[in-house]
Amino acid sequence: MTHRVDQHAADSAGWDTNYEKKAVALLTLAFGLVGLDRWIIAPLAPAMIRDLGMTPQDMNNLIAALGVAWGVAAVLMGGLSDRIGRRAVLLPAILLFSLMSGASGMVASFSALLVVRGLMGVCEGAFCPTSFAATAEASKPSRRGFNQGLQQSAFALFGLGFGPIIATQLLERIGWKAIFMLVALPGLILAALLWRVIREPITVHRSAPSEKLNPVEPAPIRDLFKHRNVPLSMAGLLCAMCGIFVLSANIPLYLTAVLHLTPVDMGIVTSALGFGGFLGQWGLPALSDHFGRRPVAIGGFAAGAALLWFFMQSGPNVPMLFTLLFASAAFSFGLLALITGPIATEAAPIGRISTTAGIIIGTGEIFGGGLALVVAGLVITTYGIPAMLYLALGGLVVGGVLMLGLKETAPRFAGSGKFGASALDELEERHQGSAVYREP
């Protein structure tokens, strides 16, 4: 069943702002839970290493397994929702990754935990590009960068901002196993709310002269790489993830084992990754709406690298460490949102938003969020924990060079505001004309 968008809930351009607000809010909270479920393990690492007899290499491999599984699932399943619908992917994914998060607290060995975290990565990998596509479709073009940045900022805020504080405060009271079970509960509630709200957009165009609504066929898969921003985004995201995820996985160990901070001070400093990431993941895409995707991407990599260098030179000064890590994470995490959000969706051919985002996210996750952590574990084993900082720094430097080749696609700077034959062109025309949705 279809219905025309309620004009009383729409603005002067025919955009359903009521649905936009509800959809973006729920998808933002859901992606925050993805971050929390994924990264709560890092501040729990010292206790888990002790109880399960693991090594820092094991912990990096554990986090890498989730990243690789996430990446493979994003590539293979990123386009699934383009074919079967957003709801059919979003709802099972959030239910299953929440259950896998709870199961992480029920295992008694490293091998069992490895399997559980891998399955969790598969579910989150399916959820990620589908949720980005749903946010892009719900957003008015002039607010696209803002909304996609808001959604992705929750990943850092929940996972690396609130996560370390929650983990270190609860650890001595209820133990790490119970913490995993506790953080799984909100996902079940959000699944029910998404079921009630999220709609299925139908890509249509007007057929002159009858004004009849006709579905538009998705572009061929081979068209994904016609836009040069797609391969550049794949490589750039790999570099950005190498820069930030290596830090996210190993900063707690660095702060406690090298700088000898207390667990509480470690939790405070580590939370800078999340709070800085929240600001950056929201701020950088929003800034790119006004200053362009390309200059903001180049500046983000350069600033993130410079601030990380200063962090590496700092001693056990908690306020200084927090400030520098906060600022570096703001730029580094902001790049994740910028590349996988507006840059990816604006480069997508018609009918292939989720597919394009899935390929970009999948490549970054497999190599930057997965294999880079395996390399980081080997680097730590061979050269010591501080050496992983240079691996993160190198990723940011290389990423900045790659972004010099990016093509500008922000509506304000790309000609008349159109991006060529892209999925979002069709989406904008649809909402300005005769938008239709399937009922939830």
* Residue 437 contacts residue 202 (beta carbons within 8 Å): yes
DSSP 385: G
pLDDT in tens, 260-288: 998 888 888 988 988 898 888 888 888 88
The DSSP symbol for 256 reads I
Q: What is the mean pLDDT of residues 397-418?
A: 79
- Domain hosting residue 284, numbered range: 2-438
pTM for the model = 0.70
pLDDT value of position 324:
95
Higher per-residue pLDDT: 145 or 317: 317
Please, how many CA atoms are within 13 Å of residue 127, restricted to the half-sphere of its CB?
30
Task: Count structural domains, the chain.
Answer: 1
Q: Which residue has the higher pLDDT, 350 or 183?
A: 183
Q: State the pLDDT at residue 401.
A: 94
| Distance from C-alpha of 180 to C-alpha of 110, rounded to nearest angstrom | 15
pLDDT of residue 14: 57
The pLDDT of residue 427 is 46
Give the C-alpha separation, 103 to 187, whole Å.
Answer: 14
Mean pLDDT of 417-425: 45
**C-alpha neighbours within 13 Å on the C-beta side of residue 92:** 12
The overall average pLDDT reported for the chain is 80
* pLDDT of 15 higher than 90: no
pLDDT tens figures, 358-388: 788 778 878 877 788 888 888 888 899 899 9
At a CB cut-off of 8 Å and minimum separation 6, what does 172 contact? none
d(CA 287, CA 292): 8
pLDDT at 12 over 60: no
Q: Which residue has the higher pLDDT, 331 or 349?
A: 331
Residue 13 pLDDT more than 70? no
More confident residue, 358 or 218: 358
What's 133's domain CATH number? Answer: 1.20.1250.20
Contact at 8 Å (CB) between 123 and 244? no
**200-201 sheet: strands from edge to edge:** 2-4, 436-438, 200-201
